[in-house]
Amino acid sequence: MAEAQLFVSQDEFTCPVCLDTLTDPVTIPCGHSFCLKCLTDYWDQSQECSCPQCRHTFTTRPELNRNTLLSEVVKKLKKTTISSPPSKNYVCPGDVECDFCIGKKFRAVKSCLTCMASYCQTHLQPHYEVAALKHHKLTDPDRNLKEKLCEKHQKSLEMFCKTDETCICLMCAVTEHNGHKMVELETEREAKQ
């Protein structure tokens, strides 16, 4: 009998927590797979049992059983992959790193001005899938997110006070800049460009 050929890369069998090839893979009821140790550690440190990838919450902690089929596929993949080139997604000097990667850091693809954090493609996924995160303001990766926060109120700088020629948060607009001429920060940026 001829053996079927399947073309896959090692990246497709990466744990979303450690971002390394799956070790002792387990699959939870939402369908996502993780290293047994990574998921156990994640749940031990968390207040609730939820999927680290899609944030689905479980009322009781699911029993974790090794996914034997996935384990065999990963084992065969490791045998056939003698040496894999470094992933183009790992952070390099000058890149913004993902704030949520544990171990090897991946390069951030977006920064969230609501969460004030940067995310790699894997950790950004909940911002596209979870209703509570979909309204967050995403921008290109930015290593200076703290500069976009009001020092006094720790809120996002969203307004520009034309009177004082300074960037302000909405709290500043109400408390300290009442009656001043203000515009949205984006509007002022476009005007100055």
Indicate if the pLDDT at residue 22 is higher than 60. yes
Indicate if the pLDDT at residue 46 is higher than 50. yes
64-68, 78-82, 152-156: segment of lowest average pLDDT: 78-82
Query: Contact 185/167 with Cβ under 8 angstroms?
Result: yes
- Tokens for 125, please give them: 């996924």
Q: What's the predicted TM-score (pTM) here?
A: 0.47
For the stretch 67-82, pLDDT in tens is 988 888 888 877 765 4
- Mean residue pLDDT across the chain: 84
Listed in order, strand segments (DSSP E) in the chain are 25-27, 33-35, 49-50, 57-58, 110-112, 117-119, 138-139, 159-161, 166-168, 182-184
> How far from 37 is each of 41, 70, 120, CA to CA, in Å?
6, 16, 22
For the stretch 122-150, pLDDT in tens is 899 999 889 999 998 888 898 888 888 88
Residue range 165-186: mean pLDDT, rounded: 89
Centroid of chain to Cα 42: 15
Q: Please report the pLDDT score of residue 153 as a whole number.
A: 84
pLDDT band at 34 (very low <50, low <70, confident <90, very high): very high
59-63, 102-106, 179-183: segment of lowest average pLDDT: 102-106
58-62, 96-100, 145-149: segment of lowest average pLDDT: 145-149
More confident: 114 or 37: 37
